[in-house]
Amino acid sequence: MAYEIKLEHRNAQIEVLNRAGNKVVIAVDDRKYELDIVMVEKGVYSILYNGHSYNIELIEGETSKEYIVNTFARSFEAEIIDAETKYQQSRKLGTDAEGDNDISSPMPGKVVKIPVKVGDPVVSGQTLIVVEAMKMQSEFKATADRTVREILVSEGDTVNAHQVMMKLEESA
């Protein structure tokens, strides 16, 4: 069965043609690889292909279909695309603007300042919330002119990574 995998910019078709233990014959787009792949440590794969030794580290993302992949050269975000994912993506597409209106922090931290309040009109570039982690403050700014619809945290709160802290809406 062929799957689709998204590796940042790229969408690749992938299919296992044959597999016996470590030995796998696999097609990625129009390229066919005969290789030896084995998990050596939790989340760490060793691949031998055509004499070359590759080490790939995986961290599972928020769902079992999402990964952060580290190669020697760089780090990628990857996602397994199946029917369910496609359906969700199509839903998401329609509401894309809404996603942009959620303000969340990429890292855990502590809310130190919220210089706006619900109902405030804000302009692109205006600071909405300041989060501190590891003695450094990060300012989260509006990327477009909007109105503050909802504030979900208070000053002094601890937030997790990717937690939505504030919701904006298009100004009336």
Residue 106 CB contacts under 8 Å (≥ 6 apart), including other chains: 161, 162
| Nearer Cβ to another protein (77/169) | 77
Q: How many Å apart are CA 14 and CA 11, to the nearest integer?
A: 10
Tokens of 130: 């300041």
Contact set for another protein, span 75-134 (CB under 8 A): 75-76, 78, 80, 106-110, 133-134
The piece of 45-53, 93-101, 115-123, 144-152 that touches another protein (CB under 8 A) is: 45-53
- Torsion angle, CA of 136/140/141/146, rounded to 10 degrees? -160
User: Which residue type occupies 79?
Assistant: E
- Binding another protein by CB under 8 A: which of 20, 93, 136, 172? 136
| Nearer Cβ to another protein (106/121) | 106
Residue 70 interacts with another protein (CB under 8 A)?
yes
Question: Helices marked H in 14-162 — which ranges?
Answer: 83-94, 96-100
Q: Which residues bind another protein (CB under 8 A)?
A: 3, 5, 7, 10, 12, 14, 16, 22, 24, 26, 28, 31, 33, 35-49, 51-59, 63-65, 67-76, 78, 80, 106-110, 133-136, 138, 158, 161
